């Protein structure tokens, strides 16, 4: 007897653009001929994006120009059919469509010039996050002009890297630009450039500014400390400092002269989400000024934001009892935070004992990780995901719980067909069927002159259980249809629930 085919796994990206989606899958070896079909939908086991198409015997495909929009969440369903007509169906984890490149990196160097001709430092920590598909990696390059071309030697860095030091011999009198490329999960990229820094070993060393951290939840107070500027000839007389944003560096304080190293204030009107920078110039006792230098920035954060406001789980039901996948959205994707915490619940009122962490806005939870090898989620049971964010100061936001997804990995019972042995042109469709775990949502039937044939009904005909005739129910169909049948002809009714 030919065994049923099995799709072992579907390999999909977490994110893709609408222009290109590459898929592959692994099927168990079978001595019969196995062919595959594929469909794509915005819910599990749906085909509203792309209905069933024949793939043939290959186990990979690249689809182009899908009719989806930025931010859509899609699921791929693969069906394997062997030469005996036996099938297996598996649904992929969710794929998030991201058609936008990541935000352009904000690249900050050490000032207008550097007195060190052996290294250059850059920082891009204040680049806005890519909340759709996240950052896959960064790349950096050192340039002598602002021209970006294909001949640049990029240095690839991890996605968590936010600064880099170029260690090399630099030319005195040369102006250097530093480029940062961000690549997101969908493979799209953006490039940011520094404003240029001149190597001049004859200049006095500019001061350094400590802004006392990367984040604050105060809406009124920012403090800084100036240090590091040395003038052995005449000594430092004072500092001129400003406080503002990257694009408006004098927004709050405009070149105020101070004679101490402590700067800042306690009566500002600070905006949540904004990054503030101190800038400073040292003046010696001879009246000469150093170059301006910048602090590395401090951002104002709100204790209970960003919040998770929506969780997608693929619909009301899933046929996969081995893994559950979830994707969630924030109320404001531009607000920084440290990471997500999540927990799977089998009761939406249950208290969470153990939180897990992730830096992605999606997660696939495998049953074997909870219940051990060969473990599975229980058919008929509804599962929920609880998610919250932890902000940059360690504060946890309000918990969001999904609306629940019910596992049903078993098909309905085989329909019991009760059609009479003899009929006239008034053909009686009559059968009954049940589903022990969820419910039947529809039937397909066909009529032909052979078992499984469809030529009399001109293909498969769908019955929506929300549009039943009088006396019918989701578990029982009983209706009359008119057919042009031949006297003494033999006909077969095939039903799928």
Helices (H), 38-114: none
pLDDT number for residue 448: 83
Handedness of CA 461, 466, 470, 472 (dihedral sign): positive
Contact 328, 399 (CB under 8 A): no
Gap between the Cα atoms of 107 and 127, Å rounded: 8
Handedness of CA 297, 298, 301, 306 (dihedral sign): positive
Nearest to 7 by CA among 83, 75, 85, 92: 92
pLDDT number for residue 35: 86
- pLDDT tens for the chain, residues 1 to 497: 567 778 888 888 888 888 889 988 888 766 567 889 999 999 888 889 999 999 888 888 999 999 999 888 999 999 888 877 778 888 888 998 988 999 999 999 988 888 889 999 999 999 888 877 889 999 999 999 988 888 899 999 999 999 999 999 999 989 999 999 999 988 889 999 998 998 887 776 788 899 998 999 899 999 999 987 655 555 678 889 999 998 899 999 999 999 888 999 999 999 988 999 999 988 877 777 777 888 989 999 887 888 999 999 988 888 888 999 999 999 887 787 889 999 999 988 888 889 999 988 899 999 999 888 888 999 889 999 999 999 888 889 999 999 999 988 877 778 888 877 777 778 788 888 888 777 788 888 888 888 878 888 888 888 888 888 888 888 888 888 888 778 878 888 888 87
Pairing mode of beta strands 416-417, 426-432 = antiparallel
Gap between the Cα atoms of 235 and 259, Å rounded: 12
Q: Is 434 helix (H, G, I), strand (E, B) or coil?
A: coil
Phi and psi at 15, nearest 5°, equal -140, 150
| Owner of token pair 């890519």 | 130
pLDDT number for residue 155: 95
Q: Which residue(s) pair with 384 in the sheet?
A: 345
Tokens read off for 364: 């696939």
Q: Cβ atoms within 10 A of the Cβ of 482, count? A: 9
| Owner of token pair 């890297």 | 161
Q: What is the pTM of this model?
A: 0.67
pLDDT number for residue 443: 84
**How long a stretch of residues is the chain?**
497
């Amino acid at each position: 007897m030919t065994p049923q085919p099995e799709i072992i796994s579907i390999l999909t990206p977490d994110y893709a653009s609408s222009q290109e989606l590459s898929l592959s899958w692994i099927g168990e070896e079978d001595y019969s001929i196995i062919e595959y079909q594929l469909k794509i939908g915005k819910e599990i086991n749906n085909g509203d994006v792309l209905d069933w198409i024949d793939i043939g015997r290959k186990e990979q495909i690249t689809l182009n120009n899908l009719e989806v929009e930025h931010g859509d969440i899609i699921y791929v369903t693969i069906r394997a059919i062997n030469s005996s007509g036996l099938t297996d169906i598996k649904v992929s984890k969710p794929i998030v469509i991201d058609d936008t490149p990541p935000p352009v990196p904000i690249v900050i160097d050490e000032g207008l010039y550097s007195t060190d001709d052996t290294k250059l430092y850059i920082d891009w920590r204040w680049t806005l996050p890519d909340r759709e598909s996240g950052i896959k990696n960064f790349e950096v390059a050192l340039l002598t002009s602002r021209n970006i071309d294909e001949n640049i030697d990029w240095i690839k860095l991890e996605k968590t890297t936010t600064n880099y030091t170029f260690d090399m011999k630099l030319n005195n009198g040369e102006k250097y630009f530093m480029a940062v490329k961000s690549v997101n999960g969908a493979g799209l990229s953006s490039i940011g450039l520094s404003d240029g820094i001149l190597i001049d070993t004859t200049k006095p060393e500019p001061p350094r500014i400590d802004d006392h951290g990367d984040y604050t939840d105060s809406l009124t107070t920012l403090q800084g400390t100036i240090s590091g500027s040395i003038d052995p000839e005449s000594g430092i007389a004072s500092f001129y400092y400003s406080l503002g944003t990257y694009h408006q560096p004098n927004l709050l304080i405009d070149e105020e002269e101070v004679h101490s190293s402590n700067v800042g204030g306690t009566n500002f009107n600070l905006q949540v989400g904004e990054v503030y920078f101190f800038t400073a110039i040292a003046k010696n006792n001879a009246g000469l000024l150093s170059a301006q230098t910048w602090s590395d920035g401090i951002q104002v954060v709100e204790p209970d934001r960003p919040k998770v406001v929506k969780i997608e789980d693929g619909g009301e039901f899933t046929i996969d009892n081995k893994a559950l996948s979830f994707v969630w959205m924030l109320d404001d994707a531009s607000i920084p935070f440290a990471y997500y915490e999540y927990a799977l619940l089998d009761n939406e009122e249950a208290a969470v004992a153990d939180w897990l962490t992730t830096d992605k806005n999606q997660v696939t939870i495998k049953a074997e990780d909870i219940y051990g090898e060969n473990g599975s989620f229980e058919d008929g049971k509804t599962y929920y995901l609880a998610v919250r964010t932890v902000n940059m100061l360690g504060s946890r936001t309000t918990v969001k719980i999904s609306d629940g997804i019910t596992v049903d990995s078993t098909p309905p019972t085989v329909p019991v067909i009760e059609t009479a042995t003899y009929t006239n042109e008034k053909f009686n469709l009559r059968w009954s069927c049940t589903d022990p775990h969820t419910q039947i949502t529809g039937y397909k039937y066909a009529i032909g002159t052979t078992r499984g044939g469809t030529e009399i009904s001109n293909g498969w005909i769908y019955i929506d259980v929300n549009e039943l005739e009088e006396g019918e129910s989701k578990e029982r169909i009983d209706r009359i249809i008119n057919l042009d049948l031949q006297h003494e002809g033999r006909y077969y009714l095939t039903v799928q629930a």
